Structure formats: structure tokens, C-alpha cells
């Protein structure tokens, strides 16, 4: 087992079959551009929604906080929150007219344009003399970027997500990781905290009332990260989870090759859309 304190610069095996942060950004940008061009045909200019208060950012990597708090200095400052806080508050915005929503989504009430397993709305309707494509402009843009029910309507495929989630669950039943959790728990108890696993510490209901960045949360998170480092919890967890993922990938090798090809195809379509 390698000794690891943080793994944000490392990748899990399944990541080869998931969209990277940059690929996701590129696909979003391409979908936005294609949607805007489509809406222009109907005489509409799409106004982007205002940024939510508090900002927010994507994680640097899938593994950045995969094993929760691992950096002692950050834990002491931020507790069980992420370094960059986000807000769930939705900014207020004036409602768009039904014709705008019909062109955008295929529905005058603005409901989801195209979702896996659903029949897209909008077929046969017109706005400003132009026929609305199935699913509206969002549906048209998604279709041009290779979105299907199999790839989560333009996101990650369910198969890849299943491998990631199954490997995660299997790792937590592995005797090597359970032994590491036991050592971590003993370390925490010596510091005055009683938790069976790092997951239990992170999910402690008291952070809902006290706040995940409260003084108590910061003290607990600092002890958590310290005990993880002392007992190589991150190194063991990452190695064990990687092994389970690799086995699952081998079992689904043919299907995952098709997933990889689909990602490559969609990224090329996005690049073409942004270049045109």
C-alpha cells in the first residue's frame, strides 16, 4: 500500500470512461452556443442567468475530496465544508414569455426539454413562423452533440457511474480498509471524538445545526485529517477502491470501450460547434 495523504493529483481507473472537468466545460459551452444560434432563428436573444451568490467552482479532480477532509490546514480553516463555498439560493429572474420557453424547451411552461426515456415536446408547433424542433433549441443542441439516453442526455453513461459507485461501496467492505477505519477510529477516540468511520464523522447530523465550518466542526475535521494521515487511510482507500474498479472495468471491457468512443465522438462534435 502506498502512503498517501492527498490524492487530488491521482486518477481512479474509471475516470478514463467519465467526462473530465474540461470536457464537461467544453460540452456545456458548445450546447450553449448551439442553443443560442437556434434561438436566434426564432428572433430571441438568450440572456444567461445571473451568477448565483457565493460563487462556486468545480472540483479540481474526482479525487480531490473523494475521501473527505485530508488536508490538516484546510480542515482547520474550513471544517467539513469545501474550500470554495457555494450557495443553493437561486437568483431571482423575471419569467420568460411562453413563446420563448416553447422555442427553448419545446414546452410553453419551460419544463425539461429532453430527458432519457421521455418523448421530447415541441414537434409540430411553431414560434414566429418557425417550426420548433423536438425538445426545443436545447433538444436540438443536445442532439447535435450526440446526447442519448445511454450517455445520460449528454453527460456520463450509467454504466461508468455504476462502476464508480459499486467500486466505492465494495471498498468500504474490504477488510484492509475496515482495519484502517478501526485504527482511525481509535485515533479519533484518543482525541475525544467517537466515530466508527470517516464517513460517519463527515455526515454527523450536528453539522446541520452547528454548521460544517463551526469551531467544533473545524476542530473535529482537523483531528479527522490528522488521524487519516497517521494511519494511511487515504493511501489504503485509494488503492483498494482502484483495485475494485479495475476488476469491474475488466468485466465490462467491451461496453466501456464503446463508452470511451462515445466520449471522443461528443468532444469532437463540441469542438466543431465551437469552431464554426
Any alpha helices (H) in the chain, and if so which ranges?
21-41, 72-78, 98-105, 136-144, 158-171, 175-190, 198-202, 206-210, 215-230, 233-251, 253-275
Q: Determine contact, residues 177/237, Cβ cutoff 8 Å.
A: yes
* Domain ranges (residues) in the chain: 1-18+59-83+156-276, 21-49+93-151
Q: Among 35, 41, 45, 34, which Cα is nearest to 272's? A: 34
* pTM, rounded to two decimals: 0.86
- Which residues of the chain are modeled with pLDDT < 70? 49-59, 83-92, 112-124
At 152 the pLDDT is 81
**Secondary element (H or E) of residue 130:** strand 130-131
**Phi, psi of 205, rounded to the nearest 5 degrees:** -60, -20
At 121 the pLDDT is 58
Q: What is the pLDDT of residues 241-268, one digit of tens each?
A: 999 999 999 999 999 999 999 999 999 9
Tell me how far apart the alpha carbons of residues 42 and 37 are, in angstroms, rounded to a whole number: 9
At 52 the pLDDT is 47
Q: What is the pLDDT of residues 122-155, one digit of tens each?
A: 556 899 999 999 889 999 999 999 998 889 888 9
CB neighbourhood size of 251 (10 A)? 11
At 55 the pLDDT is 41
Q: Determine contact, residues 234/67, Cβ cutoff 8 Å.
A: yes
Tell me how far apart the alpha carbons of residues 30 and 125 are, in angstroms, rounded to a whole number: 25
Amino acid at each position: 500500500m502506498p502512503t498517501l495523504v492527498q490524492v487530488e493529483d491521482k486518477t481512479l481507473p474509471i475516470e478514463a470512461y467519465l467526462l473530465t472537468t474540461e470536457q464537461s466545460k467544453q460540452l456545456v459551452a458548445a450546447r450553449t452556443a448551439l442553443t443560442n444560434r437556434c434561438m436566434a432563428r426564432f428572433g430571441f436573444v438568450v440572456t444567461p442567468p445571473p451568477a448565483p451568490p457565493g460563487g462556486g467552482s468545480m472540483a479540481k479532480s474526482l479525487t480531490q475530496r473523494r475521501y473527505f477532509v485530508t488536508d490538516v490546514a484546510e480542515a482547520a480553516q474550513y471544517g467539513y465544508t469545501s474550500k470554495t463555498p457555494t450557495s443553493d439560493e437561486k437568483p431571482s429572474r423575471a419569467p420568460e414569455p411562453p413563446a420563448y420557453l416553447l422555442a427553448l424547451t419545446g414546452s410553453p411552461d419551460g419544463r425539461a426539454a429532453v430527458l432519457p426515456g421521455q418523448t421530447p415536446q415541441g414537434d409540430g408547433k411553431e414560434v414566429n413562423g418557425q417550426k420548433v424542433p423536438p425538445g426545443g433549441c436545447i433538444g436540438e443542441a443536445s442532439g447535435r452533440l450526440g446526447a442519448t439516453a445511454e450517455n445520460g442526455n449528454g453527460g456520463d453513461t450509467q454504466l461508468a457511474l455504476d462502476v464508480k459507485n459499486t467500486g466505492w461501496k465494495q471498498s468500504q467492505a474490504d477488510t484492509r480498509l475496515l482495519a484502517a477505519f478501526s485504527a482511525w477510529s481509535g485515533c479519533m477516540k484518543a482525541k475525544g471524538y467517537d466515530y466508527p468511520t470517516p464517513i460517519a464523522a463527515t455526515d454527523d447530523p450536528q453539522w446541520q445545526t452547528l454548521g460544517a465550518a463551526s469551531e467544533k466542526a473545524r476542530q473535529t475535521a482537523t483531528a479527522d485529517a490528522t488521524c487519516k494521515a497517521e494511519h494511511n487511510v487515504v493511501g489504503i482507500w485509494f488503492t483498494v477502491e482502484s483495485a475494485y474498479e479495475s476488476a469491474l472495468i475488466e468485466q465490462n471491457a467491451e461496453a466501456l470501450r464503446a463508452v470511451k468512443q462515445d466520449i471522443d465522438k461528443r468532444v469532437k462534435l463540441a469542438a466543431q460547434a465551437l469552431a464554426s
